[in-house]
Amino acid sequence: MDFEPYRGELVAYSYRMLGSFDEAEDLVQETMLRAWKARDRYDRTRASVRTWLYRIATNACLTALEGRARRPLPSGLGAPSEDPGAPLTPALDIPWLQPFPDARFDAEARTDLRLALVAAMQVLPARQRAVLVLREVLEFTAAEVAEQLGTTAAAVNSALQRARAALAGVGGVDEIDEITEPDDPEARAVIQRYVRAFEAADVPALVRLLTDEAVLEMPPVPLWYRGSRDYGLFMERVFRMRGTGWTMTPLTANGQPALAAYAPEPGGGHRLHTLQVLTVTGGRVAHNVVFADPHVFRAFDLPGRISSDGFRRAR
What span, in angstroms and rounded, lies between the C-alpha atoms of 270 and 248?
10
Residue 213 lies in a domain: yes
**Domain range for 274:** 177-314
Kindly report, residue by residue over 49-68, the tens digit of the pLDDT: 999 999 999 999 999 999 88
Alpha helices in the chain (DSSP H): 7-18, 21-37, 49-65, 115-121, 126-132, 142-149, 153-168, 185-199, 203-208, 228-242, 294-299, 308-314
Residue 182 lies in a domain: yes
Please compute the mean of the pLDDT values over residues 175-190 and round it to a whole number: 76
Terminal-to-terminal C-alpha distance of the chain? 41
At 235, give phi and psi (nearest 5°): -65, -35
Give the per-residue pLDDT at 311: 46
Distances (CA, A) of 155 to 2, 10, 121, 151: 32, 24, 19, 7
pLDDT of 179 strictly over 70: no
Please compute the mean of the pLDDT values over residues 96-103 and round it to a whole number: 96
Question: Which of 43-47, 155-159, 303-307 shows the lowest per-residue confidence on average (mean pLDDT)?
Answer: 43-47
What span, in angstroms and rounded, lies between the C-alpha atoms of 29 and 304?
27
What span, in angstroms and rounded, lies between the C-alpha atoms of 62 and 64?
5
Residue 248 lies in a domain: yes
Give the per-residue pLDDT at 180: 66
Give the chain's domain count.
1
Give the per-residue pLDDT at 134: 95
Arithmetic mean of pLDDT over the chain: 91
pLDDT of 10 strictly over 70: yes
What span, in angstroms and rounded, lies between the C-alpha atoms of 148 and 131?
10
Give the per-residue pLDDT at 78: 93
Give the per-residue pLDDT at 183: 78
Give the per-residue pLDDT at 69: 87
pLDDT of 177 strictly over 70: no
This prediction has a pTM of: 0.92
**Residue 246 CA to chain centroid, in angstroms?**
24
Give the per-residue pLDDT at 106: 80
**For helices 49-65 and 21-37, angle between their N-to-C axes, nearest 10 degrees:** 130
Residue 250 lies in a domain: yes
Residue 216 lies in a domain: yes
Q: What is the CATH number of the domain that holds 293?
A: 3.10.450.50
Residue 231 lies in a domain: yes
Give the per-residue pLDDT at 2: 87
On whether the CB atoms of residues 229 and 210 are closer than 8 A, the answer is no
